[in-house]
Amino acid sequence: MKCPYCQKEMRSGYIPNGGQPVEWIPDGERPSMIAFSTAEKGIPLLGGFKPLKANGYMAQAHYCADCKIVIAATQP
């Protein structure tokens, strides 16, 4: 996917739904196993911790490192 701002290729990844801080994680990487921490290669999106009930769900998302934006897909 191309970034709508700079037209460079965006990195594919996802936003997990679990007990960790909200973050974008590159495809092939896993969320941190420790609550209250981000994955080693994760990009934090929002500070704070809120326990969620639906562990295991995730939103597909793309990240542009140059523009520092994440674009997430929604369900049809």
- pLDDT tens digits along 21-65: 678 888 988 877 766 666 777 766 654 444 554 445 567 889 999
Model confidence, pTM = 0.63
Q: What pLDDT band is residue 14 in, cutting at 50, 70 and 90?
A: confident
Exposure string for 54-67, b = 16+ CB within 10 A, e = fewer: eeeeeeebbbbeee
